[in-house]
Structure 1
Amino acid sequence: MRTMLRRALPALALLALTSPVSAQQEKPEEIVITATRVPRPITAIPNTVRILDRALLDTQLTVSSSIIDGISQVVPSFSPSRQKLSGFGESFRGRSPLYLIDGVPQSNPLRNGSREGFTIDPIAIERVEVVYGANAIQGMGATGGIVNFVTRSAPRGGDWVNLAKISVTAADGLEDDGWSYKGGYFLGKSWERWDVAAAASYESRGLFYDGEGRPVGVDTTQGDLMDSDSWNLFAKVGYRLTEGQRIQLMANAFEIEGDADYVTVPGNRAANLPTSSARGEFPGEPTANKVRTASLDYTNDSLLGGQFSAQAFLQDFEGVYGGGTFANFQDPAIDPTGNLFDQSANNSEKQGVKTTWVRDGVLPGLQVALGLDYLRDKTYQELVQTGRNWVPETLYQTWSPFLQLEQTFLEERVRIAGGVRHETAELEVDDFTTLASYGSQFVEGGTPSFEKTLWNLGGVVTVVEGVQLYGSFAEGFTMPDVGRVLRAIDQPGQNVDEFLDLEPIVADNLEVGIELRRGPVAASAAWFSSKSDFGQVLIANADGIFEVGRQKTEIEGIELSLRWDVTDAYAIGASYAILEGEFDSDGDGGVDQDLDGTNISPDRLNVYAEAEPVDGLNARIQLAHYFDRSFDGGDPRNDFDGFSLIDLYAGYRLPAFQGLEQGPQLEFGVQNLLDRQYITYYSQTTRPTDNSAFYAGRGRTFTLSLTAGF
């Protein structure tokens, strides 16, 4: 803790220097969070919470069309984006985030293919709610926190709202194959009882180039964003049954698929030469994400004296990965030459129901929330070319009742909240035979199960108007990547009930912090500790394929943030995150080795300035500095050399003309303004002998977009 405080002092000094001496008192606008199941003001939540509203999203998406890039830029304890389709190695507070769309889970822990960040296009998103730290309120997966994509809704009253947006992105050298194009459309309208919202988008991405003008290496195995096409269709329809009852149907279809026009050109780590790309055809099916998400919501504002909500949902996910003549795929019965080409696809089908009933005033100041959740998740990993299953079909089912209480005192200046959630889960696996590379082992199926009770307790104290102290303890859980475990069984005579340890990964998150929102100043400071007695660490084997290690892990961090609206037209801000993490490498019960770059992010400082010097013109410049990091007990070749990146944004409202209530919005973004040449964090800190995965980050890119509303 002392070491972390010493490392935080430079950032504390920076925040102090940029803070005003005094701030006039003014009650802030109330922001309501929905990711906590019971919609509540942000000031009532005993955790760090960050909102990316539509204005901030538009700014970040003009700099980069990837919403993961935008989240990573704004949330400093989120790992640096890999700029790939795969989010493998990206973490939140050193653990896994749970991705949601309107509360519908997108993450696939049973066979984690790290593609859950790309299941919806930002054209359909109104805001992103980021809840820091482990919690179980949304069920399985949030050991690092929650990232909830809240979709757009119809405006209230009035005529149809139509928004059309087009954008074009070019690399610094204006290379012919480096251009990207995107178009999107949103419309919505509400009537007395009905409301409708819909969106559609299409994006074609060209090749990425690094700061030295070389093509960035394409990831033909895990999947890439560059040289790809994506489309999204979204619709939401609501109907008010009575004054206090409403139903709503949401559906979203998203696909991204590589064009497979390029092949990998290995780099040279010893010479610091990054992996590159060259024209060529890669065999097999293109890498892809194909995702369908739907939910049916019902709300009743006066059921048994309380508010009732229910959601039935489904999600169908298929992630296709690139292939190769990997040793794991070889089978002499199919190809005795040892050159069998194959590729895998992760498949997950989720169905579930979430119910919540909330009643205020059971006793003076007491709120009671009751709920019952059900989740059914069928997951498997197949080999596309030969039709074999690499991971057998697994069926996970869980019932989860929960109770949450909140008591307020002193005219709501003090809030104490606590709750409990009980998970009853079962995993069903039929008999299966592993691939030939594992010895074609016959494995007897089984139905391992577990029950787990998860607790939370927290409080918020409003010291004076706009200043809150908070503290919380919460347990979050996820499942180990059972798919990686089952597919790698290479010993005879195994059965699932005895071999598979289904004990969940439970992260205990302790957090204390302070939030200040007074006049032109918003600031926060938080310390957290996240511990798991039986966690999950991903460790690469000799073939570069990551395997699951169930080991004790401990993570600690400090997060600071500040925003100062200097005048009505100018603002500055900064945020800082320090993370330290260790695991038990020798199994003696004590942590002794640093978590590596696959499992934890570097320390980071973000600084930005915003200006609106004249009506209709706004601009933002932002700096992200990633600090050097070494990993005690790890391979020194995986030490991280930090770097700094600067982005620029400018937007201008053009004059209105006939048929438009307001003029179109013209936006210009520059990513990596100084054209810095750098190797990504993931590539520096993993697989030190793999010259095919030594990826550089994107060099300077320019994006120009135009949005018209009518």
Structure 2
Amino acid sequence: MIKTNLSILALIISAQVTANDEPQDLERILVTGSRIAESIDEIPSSVTIIGQKELAAQLKVTTDLQSILAMYVPGIASSSGTSSNFAQTLRGRAALVMIDGVPQSTPLRNGSLGMRSLDPHVIERIEVIQGATSIYGNGAAGGIINYITKKPATNSKFSLNTTASTQFSAVKLDDSAGLKVTTTASGEIDDFSYIVSLGIENNGVLRDAEGDALGTQYGLSEAKSRNFFTKLSYDFDADKSLQMTYNYFESQQDSAWVDVIGDINKGEKTYAIKDAVSTPFNAAPQGPRGNHNLQIKYTDAEIFSNTAFNLDVYKQSIENVFFYSTVLANPDLNLAGGQSLIKSEKQGLRSVFNTLADWDNVEATFIYGVDILNDTTSQPMVDGRLWVPEMDMVNVAGFLQSKWVIQDDFIVKAGLRYENMDIEVNDYNTLKLCRSADQCSVPKAVKGGTIEFTATTFNVGFRYNANQAFTPYVSYSQGANIPDLGALLRSATVQDIALIQTEAAIIDNYEVGFVSEFEQFRFELSAYKSFSDLGSRSVQDPKTGIYITQRAPQKIWGYEGVLNYTFNDQWDLAATYGYVEGKHSNTGNYLGAREVSAPKGTLALNWQPTTQARMSVHYIHVSDRDRFEKNDKGVYTGDEGPVNGYGIVNLSGSYDFDQWSVFAGVENLLNKDYFPARSQALTFRAFNVKGIGTTVNLGVNYRF
């Protein structure tokens, strides 16, 4: 007999983290993995949730979301002082970054800038699904990173929370002091609830362990960030509600510092010096000029018998400006260099139905709906030239996911998604670019057209929860991923886009793992393999000159472990480890650092001696990875540099009294002088920058 079970669903959905300051434990609830709220214990795959407790500890040290993700997510490469998430992948493949399910990544022209897209102080938690997934469609070949924003406080009509902090280099104070202030108001009045937050951050100059300023390309020195966030919600009755969320984020670096270029093959770092005379006179500030996210969501807990309904419409737009480069010169136009920017506008609609049913010892959940997305992306130059023409994509997808709980302990999940994508490109001319007066590309007139993609992807998983001491799971999932189309179009050497091979790749992901839980101990271990018949990189055919998607199949494999141990009421420990490796299957050659990062482990030790005092020590260790040989000139090229291991220690603490809290954090406590893993492996000069030296963050929080 089918019976209504919506009260349980409503209870799960209502279990929200509010905007007050006390960290709340919602680690058992997940919304990203299947588009509805569900228990993490019913998911047959690896999941990482960075909750309020973890975020609060990390934000005492740094506001850099990429560093926070690297600390808690196995496999994400270590990062330091950069706005670019280039080569920060999930399991060797690109991740889809979202805010409340709204995509921030720009897969049509992947600039690897999506991770840093909002102020972390407005984040309730971060949900990370590792491995290819068809739940959200294109761009999620490696998984999903979803920033879940805060909900309004429901315990008062008005509450206020203000945090102010300053960050500075302990190695060399000059020009390094910065300031960050975030104020949040929140409350509930009858059926209406609200939260409004304003954040302002002005960075000083970031310095390495020797006191030198970090390089400016993809840099954060002297960046000025602004964030405005609001979420308004109205409950029509116990079942129906309407919610509007808006977030605006900008972060631009406008600096008179210029780079002294190094060479990672010689161990020479790229660093910056203050030299206003050498600063390009027409250089625009780099970074997002403005990232707008608007989302309106309607929820009905029982739109018809046993069925809940969610409908949300959204709009996202961004202009992300890159650094000034002499490689983008054109002497014919009297241009010694240039800057490009990625312009992207997305608007979409998502409808999700959730039907529940019970038959004796079987509980079934069916999640189904339609996604519609219009994504318009281009890459013009700041000076008005056009590098990548406008790509106008319409994506319509239907999906069905099901979950079966058999006799409470055996869980089966299965589903499919059908994608239909049309991308229109008008006729365009490739851009003439000159590395020198005598070395220029030849512009080409290219006929546009419509590129069509269709794909059906599947997923199935099993989990057995009978014994907490050993809960095994196994899963198979697919993801459909189009190539970086913009990179192909801007480098075209043919006269018709129909001659540029742009076929979508299907990624097959296999995973097996288990969770062991005891009274004070939790351990999770997972192993995975993924295969892509088309690979994920674009190369130029030397015979035809046509840029094509890498035809050689790729395989990526690895394992991840997560451990949590609570010693007593005062002490607890968390640790992660991630190992990933990959090869081109037909040649046996290893994949470079664009896809595969060096092995990484992290350790977090937390101490709470009293209810008012907290202290945390975080350690991140990167191991060696040396898979490639030098070229004929005796140097490493591309993304094939060797990585030498290193370890970094961070420290943070806080003390609460009355309505006040004071906190302090130290990044790179021991002032380790090192090149981050990406700086070692990526030989491109924009990345040859050392990690941040000892940096102190001091702050105060007031709430009422």
Q: Which residue identity lines up with residue 77 of structure 2 in the other structure?
A: S
Shift of 1:271: 4.6
Question: Following the alignment from structure 2 to structure 1, what is the Cα–Cα distance between the partners of residues 266 and 453?
Answer: 50
Deviations 1:49-83 (A, max 9, x none): 11111221111121111011111111121111152
| Within-5 A mapping of 1:531-680 | 531-537=531-537, 549=550, 551-584=552-585, 590-632=586-628, 637=636, 638-654=641-657, 656=658, 663-680=659-676
Question: Following the alignment from structure 2 to structure 1, what is the Cα–Cα distance between the partners of residues 53 and 103?
Answer: 25
Q: Which residue identity lines up with residue 377 of structure 1 in the other structure?
A: D
Q: 2:252 maps to which residue?
A: 257
Q: 1:453 maps to which residue?
A: 456
Question: Following the alignment from structure 1 to structure 2, what is the Cα–Cα distance between the partners of residues 597 and 206?
Answer: 30
Q: Which residue identity lines up with residue 656 of structure 2 in the other structure?
A: R
Q: 2:490 maps to which residue?
A: 487
| Within-5 A mapping of 1:117-196 | 117-196=115-194
Residue among 692, 695, 699 paired with 1:705? 699
Seen in structure 2, the aligned counterparts of structure 1 residues 226 and 547 have a Cα distance that, compared at 3 Å, is farther
- Give the unaligned 5+ runs of structure 2: 1-24, 434-440
Seen in structure 2, the aligned counterparts of structure 1 residues 591 and 454 have a Cα distance that, compared at 3 Å, is farther
Residue among 390, 405, 417 paired with 1:408? 405
Shift of 1:705: 1.4
Q: Which residue identity lines up with residue 473 of structure 1 in the other structure?
A: Y
Seen in structure 2, the aligned counterparts of structure 1 residues 591 and 527 have a Cα distance that, compared at 3 Å, is farther
| Within-5 A mapping of 1:208-287 | 208-219=206-217, 223-269=218-264, 271-281=266-276, 282-283=279-280, 284-287=283-286
| SS of aligned partner of 1:126 | strand
- Give the unaligned 5+ runs of structure 1: 1-27, 585-589, 657-662
Q: Does residue 348 of the first structure (1) align with residue 344 of the second (2)? A: yes
Q: Which runs of 4+ in 1 moved over 3 A?
A: 268-271, 538-542, 546-551, 632-637
Question: Following the alignment from structure 1 to structure 2, what is the Cα–Cα distance between the partners of residues 480 and 273?
Answer: 34
Deviations 1:186-235 (A, max 9, x none): 1111122111011110001111111122222221xxx3212210000001
Q: Judge conservation of contact 1:554–1:591 (CA < 8 Å) in 2.
A: no
Question: Following the alignment from structure 1 to structure 2, what is the Cα–Cα distance between the partners of residues 262 and 623?
Answer: 31
Shift of 1:436: 2.8
Q: Judge conservation of contact 2:500–2:548 (CA < 8 Å) in 1.
A: no
Question: Following the alignment from structure 1 to structure 2, what is the Cα–Cα distance between the partners of residues 697 and 639?
Answer: 17
Q: 1:318 maps to which residue?
A: 319
Seen in structure 2, the aligned counterparts of structure 1 residues 686 and 173 have a Cα distance that, compared at 3 Å, is closer
Deviations 1:102-153 (A, max 9, x none): 1100010000111111211112111111111110101211111111111111
Question: Following the alignment from structure 1 to structure 2, what is the Cα–Cα distance between the partners of residues 605 and 146?
Answer: 21
Seen in structure 2, the aligned counterparts of structure 1 residues 320 and 208 have a Cα distance that, compared at 3 Å, is same
| SS of aligned partner of 2:213 | coil
Q: Judge conservation of contact 2:243–2:296 (CA < 8 Å) in 1.
A: yes
Q: Judge conservation of contact 1:561–1:573 (CA < 8 Å) in 2.
A: yes
Question: Following the alignment from structure 1 to structure 2, what is the Cα–Cα distance between the partners of residues 193 and 535?
Answer: 51
TM normalised by structure 2 equals: 0.89
Residue among 71, 74, 83 paired with 1:73? 71
Q: Which residue identity lines up with residue 109 of structure 1 in the other structure?
A: P
Shift of 1:624: 1.0
Q: 1:91 maps to which residue?
A: 89
Q: 2:28 maps to which residue?
A: 31
RMSD of aligned Cα (Å): 2.1
Seen in structure 2, the aligned counterparts of structure 1 residues 686 and 579 have a Cα distance that, compared at 3 Å, is same
Q: 1:13 maps to which residue?
A: none
Shift of 1:632: 4.0
Q: 1:391 maps to which residue?
A: 388
Shift of 1:362: 6.5
Q: Which residue identity lines up with residue 514 of structure 1 in the other structure?
A: F
Q: Which residue identity lines up with residue 489 of structure 1 in the other structure?
A: A
Seen in structure 2, the aligned counterparts of structure 1 residues 322 and 461 have a Cα distance that, compared at 3 Å, is same
Sequence identity (%): 27
Q: Judge conservation of contact 2:678–2:687 (CA < 8 Å) in 1.
A: no
Q: Judge conservation of contact 2:531–2:555 (CA < 8 Å) in 1.
A: yes
Shift of 1:522: 1.4
| SS of aligned partner of 1:687 | coil
Seen in structure 2, the aligned counterparts of structure 1 residues 502 and 539 have a Cα distance that, compared at 3 Å, is closer
Q: 2:436 maps to which residue?
A: none
Q: 1:53 maps to which residue?
A: 51
Q: Judge conservation of contact 2:75–2:90 (CA < 8 Å) in 1.
A: yes
Seen in structure 2, the aligned counterparts of structure 1 residues 685 and 502 have a Cα distance that, compared at 3 Å, is same
Shift of 1:548: 6.5
Q: Judge conservation of contact 2:171–2:210 (CA < 8 Å) in 1.
A: no
Question: Following the alignment from structure 1 to structure 2, what is the Cα–Cα distance between the partners of residues 568 and 226?
Answer: 40
| SS of aligned partner of 2:182 | strand
Q: 2:22 maps to which residue?
A: none
Question: Following the alignment from structure 2 to structure 1, what is the Cα–Cα distance between the partners of residues 459 and 553?
Answer: 21
TM normalised by structure 1 equals: 0.89
Question: Following the alignment from structure 2 to structure 1, what is the Cα–Cα distance between the partners of residues 551 and 698?
Answer: 47
Question: Following the alignment from structure 1 to structure 2, what is the Cα–Cα distance between the partners of residues 595 and 459?
Answer: 31
Seen in structure 2, the aligned counterparts of structure 1 residues 686 and 702 have a Cα distance that, compared at 3 Å, is same
Q: 1:516 maps to which residue?
A: 516
Shift of 1:355: 0.7
Question: Following the alignment from structure 1 to structure 2, what is the Cα–Cα distance between the partners of residues 407 and 91?
Answer: 31
Question: Following the alignment from structure 1 to structure 2, what is the Cα–Cα distance between the partners of residues 676 and 365?
Answer: 54
Q: 2:13 maps to which residue?
A: none
Question: Following the alignment from structure 2 to structure 1, what is the Cα–Cα distance between the partners of residues 173 and 549?
Answer: 42
Q: Judge conservation of contact 1:362–1:368 (CA < 8 Å) in 2.
A: no
Question: Following the alignment from structure 2 to structure 1, what is the Cα–Cα distance between the partners of residues 86 and 687?
Answer: 13
Question: Following the alignment from structure 2 to structure 1, what is the Cα–Cα distance between the partners of residues 615 and 549?
Answer: 45
Mean Cα displacement is larger for which, 106-115 or 362-371?
362-371
Seen in structure 2, the aligned counterparts of structure 1 residues 373 and 682 have a Cα distance that, compared at 3 Å, is same
Seen in structure 2, the aligned counterparts of structure 1 residues 165 and 569 have a Cα distance that, compared at 3 Å, is same
